[in-house]
Structure 1
Amino acid sequence: MNGRRIGVLVLTVMASCISGAVVTAPGVAAEPLAGSLDYGQTRDIAVVPLPGQPEGMAVDPEDGSIWSGSNRPNSSADVWHWDADGRLLATYSLTDRVPAEHGVNGIVLDGDGRVYALDYSGARAVRIDPATGNQSDYATFANLPTCSGAAGIACEPSPIDRPAWPNWATFAPDGTMYVSDLNQATIWKVPAGGGNAEIWYQNSDFASIYGVNGMQFDAAGRLNFVVTVSLVPRVESFGRGVVHRLSMMPDGMPGALETVTVTGQGDGLTIGSSGRIYLPIANPLYNAVEVVDPDTRSVVASLPTPVESITRSIPYSTPASVAFRGTSLIVSNHGLLAIDPHQWAILELGVGETGLPLHYPKGLA
């Protein structure tokens, strides 16, 4: 996110009902790891360097090291790598780009140690090999015309023509990368090995100022994702976030769309081993991670408590992206309205369960 979201999100908060759910630990929780945080407890991992405004989050499953990047507008698009204790190991500035309205968005890892960063400039996924420092364009995303002015060609189901905004990526078991497009009401798929992204699913209900965002496959192989701000004229969801899921057909095509629940304006997304969905909320006046129980189709918790969110050493400030490490979430504290750069930080939040394993494909060309 960046400063241009402020006006919209401040307005949409008027339509957003802050969750009044009871804060409860998951019913199916793994035994906490040694040194893990209590449920709802937060500790500071690192303050990010300039240009700040971290977005995108990935945790190495082998060593617990952390990857995030700078989404600050009109700045360098930097990808940062910290060790498990929050010591900065390396910074990779994305090359062959011009400063743009946004920088780095989603970040995902493969099984061979490579890092994939979604870059607004050039609408691309950049692959970084930390072993060599080499960068290459792994995938590109087309700027689609509006369907209202197009016939017989690929288009976006939106009344307003906007550029591609690849925002979140997740791998399927076969190495296909699925990428949300925040602008174009589209979910893309990138074949294993990269190339031009292909349209996988579109829906005019996703057309919004901030549309399809965080995504992950659940244990049943369904793609779960959040639309940050729904503009569908329904009283219960207008101006709020909506979590959906799509089944995957045997031929790889999308199946039926289900609505899981209505939430705050969700940004990133991750799923626990219990099946619960964790959503950092992209609303500058409501700083929390909401917990969704897909079985009851409801928001069952909001973490941390409002008092802790405001009064702790580094206040929660528009948390953007999350990834599991042990029984905690590692959170990018985006700091959309932060005046103090100290609020551009990486935090750890105890949630009392481990994450549903992600897919880390190997041998991608």
Structure 2
Amino acid sequence: MRRALALALTLIGVVALAGPAAGERTAPEKWPTTVFSTVGKPGFPAYVHVAPNGRVYAATYTNPAGDTMASRVLEWTASGTLLRSWTVPGQDLGAPHGVQVATSDARGRLVLLEKSRAQVLTLNPRTGRFKVQATLPDLPGAGHPIPNYAAWGPGGKLYLTDYGQGVIWRIPAKGGEPTPWFRSEALEGAGFGTTGIVYERSRRSFLISQQTTGNPLDLLRGHLYRLPVVAGGAPGEIATVWTSGPLDLPDGFGVAQSGNVYVALLGTNRLVRLGPDGKVRATFPPGPVLGANGSAIPFDSPSNATFLGTRVLVANQSAILGTASHHAILAVEVGEPGARVFIPRRARLR
């Protein structure tokens, strides 16, 4: 997410003329959208996490134009009332910085992914204590690590996407050093890398979203992949579930109980609903770029789709335009409940 913004501004007009993705439903779909909460400075909210206790969390990223404000972690009630916030310590404020609230552990701590130092942290909401759990290393010839999304997998191990290095990391149960679990050219983006990850327990596999690949024949299209976990916890063969339109930039996503997948398209300011077979069932709004969702705040770089009941909560990041009044969490009624997020009893770091 949130990188190569100058390239995005150059190409976004091309996307508007490109038409719908292959197989896309063209009939209008209306999903009532409201403002769950606005997000103040430093703004640029990232992924929204709904904890098992029903509280809602999100954190903030740096202004693309540059700032020296530390990231904040915000907490809301399920109705959108802001309760508390915490300032993230230890960031390199001279570098691009930001935090994702990726998930919770079995002890109720929040798992945070910090960009400037490529670190995994935990935050105990009861005590306000932050703790550094791991640092992602540079891989030879692979660029700089950027932890992006995370999900618990089999055996209480934590799996992380890396926006910068084309790798899925794994941290052992109860913590430890991260190791590369899966590397593939499919995860190497053309300036826009690997984003969301969700574990499908019934399939024993991960769904993984990719904004673009390094293949020039892909024409800056994104993908949703499925990656099984095979015997011994090794990765199986990655397969494409869905391919987006040019510069849709698929970001975070949520999975419904039905198996439908709701993906935020950061590049074209839309949400797309995919069936369990990967076919497009609907897009909202039907036209790209403008983000006209019927609420007081249009979609502007929507970066995720996290279920809260039958609504999905969307972090409206405005990563390209940087419009402060668009920094908000939006609630989109999609008419079906989300699947339970997998947080096993062994899901804990140090």
User: 3-state SS of the aligned residue for 2:243?
Assistant: strand
> 2:113·2:147 contact (CA, 8 Å) conserved in 1?
yes
Q: Is 1:66 the counterpart of 2:56 in the alignment? A: yes
CA distance in structure 1 between the aligned counterparts of 2:47 and 2:307, rounded to whole angstroms? 13
TM-score (norm 1): 0.85
Q: Which amino acid aligns with 2:223?
A: V
172, 175, 179: which one pairs with 1:194? 175
What RMSD in Å do the two structures reach over aligned CA positions? Answer: 2.1
> 2:306·2:312 contact (CA, 8 Å) conserved in 1?
yes
CA distance in structure 1 between the aligned counterparts of 2:213 and 2:194, rounded to whole angstroms? 10
Q: Is 1:127 the counterpart of 2:122 in the alignment? A: yes
The residue aligned with 1:334 is 317
CA distance in structure 1 between the aligned counterparts of 2:27 and 2:130, rounded to whole angstroms? 43
The residue aligned with 2:155 is 174
Cα gap change, 1:217 to 1:268, in 2 (>3 Å) = same
Q: Following TM superposition, by how much is the alpha carbon of 1:174 offset from its aligned partner in structure 2, in angstroms?
A: 2.3
Which whole-Å deviations, capped at 9, do the CAs of 1:55-102 have from their partners, x for residues lacking one?
021012333x21101012443121111111212111111112211213
CA distance in structure 2 between the aligned counterparts of 1:256 and 1:353, rounded to whole angstroms? 31
Q: Is 1:344 the counterpart of 2:327 in the alignment? A: yes
The residue aligned with 2:256 is 272
Q: Is 1:56 the counterpart of 2:47 in the alignment? A: yes
Q: Is 1:41 the counterpart of 2:32 in the alignment? A: yes
Q: Which amino acid aligns with 1:207?
A: E
The residue aligned with 2:7 is 8
CA distance in structure 2 between the aligned counterparts of 1:194 and 1:23, rounded to whole angstroms? 48
Unpaired segments ≥5 residues, structure 2: none
CA distance in structure 1 between the aligned counterparts of 2:19 and 2:79, rounded to whole angstroms? 36
Cα gap change, 1:212 to 1:345, in 2 (>3 Å) = same
Q: Following TM superposition, by how much is the alpha carbon of 1:241 offset from its aligned partner in structure 2, in angstroms?
A: 0.7
Taking the TM superposition and a 5 Å limit, the aligned residue runs for 1:101-140 are 101-140=96-135
The residue aligned with 1:253 is 234
Q: Is 1:98 the counterpart of 2:96 in the alignment? A: no
Q: Is 1:215 the counterpart of 2:214 in the alignment? A: no
Aligned length: 331
User: 3-state SS of the aligned residue for 2:7?
Assistant: helix
Q: Which amino acid aligns with 2:43?
A: G
TM-score (norm 2): 0.88
User: 3-state SS of the aligned residue for 1:330?
Assistant: strand
Q: Which amino acid aligns with 2:82?
A: L
Which whole-Å deviations, capped at 9, do the CAs of 1:11-33 have from their partners, x for residues lacking one?
454366544424588xxxxxxxx
CA distance in structure 2 between the aligned counterparts of 1:7 and 1:57, rounded to whole angstroms? 26
> 2:28·2:284 contact (CA, 8 Å) conserved in 1?
no
Q: Which amino acid aligns with 2:157?
A: T
**98-107 vs 82-91, greater mean Cα deviation:** 98-107
> 1:22·1:300 contact (CA, 8 Å) conserved in 2?
no
The alignment-based identity, stated in percent, is 26
Which whole-Å deviations, capped at 9, do the CAs of 1:192-242 have from their partners, x for residues lacking one?
2222211010012322212111111223121111110123133xx320111
> 2:134·2:176 contact (CA, 8 Å) conserved in 1?
yes
Q: Is 1:290 the counterpart of 2:272 in the alignment? A: yes
Q: Following TM superposition, by how much is the alpha carbon of 1:5 offset from its aligned partner in structure 2, in angstroms?
A: 2.7
**306-315 vs 259-268, greater mean Cα deviation:** 306-315
Unpaired segments ≥5 residues, structure 1: 26-38, 147-155, 157-161
